């Protein structure tokens, strides 16, 4: 999953409005934020195999450190600790951040073909929605805009700009699904990392500094 993850970021604002959206944007993609540099370093591995699934060409055959269930739990726990201690967020806020991190694995589980190990590099799972293009795209859109709708109900400002941003993200998702495959594993990782950073920066600009919605 790609842009659908951000629906969780928006929805999480209902859980604790004190957590900035950009933090939640990083949290829901934290596993991929770790995955991209590890692919660039050759530690985790992906092969570009055109036609590998009906929506993308990614044979994600080795990613034990970022996308195993055990790793996802550990990354979520680390995110809790960092947000609780370094960012001095409250317990609820840190729990929301940790849940956002873990949501990545659950949503990936729905769309990935069986490439997500339960632990290490074994017992791989994935429900394979990537092989049903219409359903996969619908889920990305429903997750993104469903989450955004919940966020709007918290009384968030700049809804029009945020909705436009969502449409741009969805357009990028369409390109990822139906455009040409990435040139290489490294270009895929580099482009993905750049997209995650840009999305987090854009949402930081849209939300503004410390715009805390009133408690819902």
Q: Extract the tokens encoding 116.
A: 């997500």
User: Which CB, 125 or 213, lies closer to Zn ion?
Assistant: 125
CB atoms near residue 87 (< 10 Å): 13
Choosing from 3, 20, 22, 32, the residue that interacts with Zn ion (CB under 5 A) is 32
Q: Extract the tokens encoding 216.
A: 């819902």
User: Which CB, 94 or 111, lies closer to Zn ion?
Assistant: 111
The reply to whether 140 sits near Zn ion by the rule CB under 5 A is no
Residues 80-119 that bind Zn ion (CB under 5 A): 108
Q: Which stretch binds Zn ion (CB under 5 A): 30-38, 49-57, 69-77, 145-153?
A: 30-38
Q: How far is the CB of 46 from Zn ion (least distance, A)?
A: 11
DSSP notation for 33-100: HHHHHHHHTTSSEEEE-TTSSSS--EEEEE-HHHHSHHHHHHHHHHHHHHHHHTS---HHHHHHHHHH
170: CB partners within 8 A, 6+ apart: 3, 140, 141, 144
Q: How far is the CB of 181 from Zn ion (least distance, A)?
A: 17
User: Which CB, 36 or 93, lies closer to Zn ion?
Assistant: 36
User: Which CB, 20 or 103, lies closer to Zn ion?
Assistant: 103
Virtual torsion, Cα 77, 97, 123, 62, nearest 10 deg = -100
In angstroms, how far is CA 34 from the centroid of its own chain? 12
Q: Which stretch binds Zn ion (CB under 5 A): 32-40, 70-78, 147-155, 172-180?
A: 32-40
The reply to whether 44 sits near Zn ion by the rule CB under 5 A is no
In angstroms, how far is CA 84 from the centroid of its own chain? 21
Q: Which stretch binds Zn ion (CB under 5 A): 29-37, 74-82, 134-142, 173-181?
A: 29-37
User: Which CB, 13 or 112, lies closer to Zn ion?
Assistant: 112
Q: How far is the CB of 80 from Zn ion (least distance, A)?
A: 19
Residues that bind Zn ion (CB under 5 A): 32, 108
């Amino acid at each position: 999953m790609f842009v659908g993850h951000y629906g969780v970021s928006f929805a999480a604002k209902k859980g604790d409005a004190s957590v900035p959206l950009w933090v939640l944007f990083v949290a829901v993609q934290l596993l991929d934020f770790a995955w991209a540099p590890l692919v660039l370093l050759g530690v985790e591995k992906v092969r570009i195999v055109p036609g590998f699934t009906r929506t993308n060409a990614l044979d994600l055959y080795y990613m034990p450190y970022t996308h195993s269930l055990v790793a996802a739990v550990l990354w979520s726990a680390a995110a809790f600790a960092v947000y609780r201690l370094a960012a001095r967020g409250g317990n609820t806020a840190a729990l929301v951040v940790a849940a956002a991190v873990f949501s990545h694995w659950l949503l990936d589980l729905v769309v990935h073909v069986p490439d997500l190990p339960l632990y290490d590099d074994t017992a791989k799972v994935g429900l394979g929605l990537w092989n049903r293009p219409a359903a996969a795209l619908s889920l990305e859109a429903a997750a993104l805009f469903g989450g955004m709708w919940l966020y709007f109900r918290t009384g968030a400002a700049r809804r029009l700009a945020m909705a436009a941003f969502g449409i741009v993200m969805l357009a990028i998702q369409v390109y990822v699904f139906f455009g040409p495959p990435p040139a290489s594993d490294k270009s895929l990782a580099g482009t993905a990392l750049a997209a995650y950073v840009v999305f987090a920066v854009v949402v930081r600009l849209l939300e503004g500094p410390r715009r805390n919605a009133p408690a819902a």
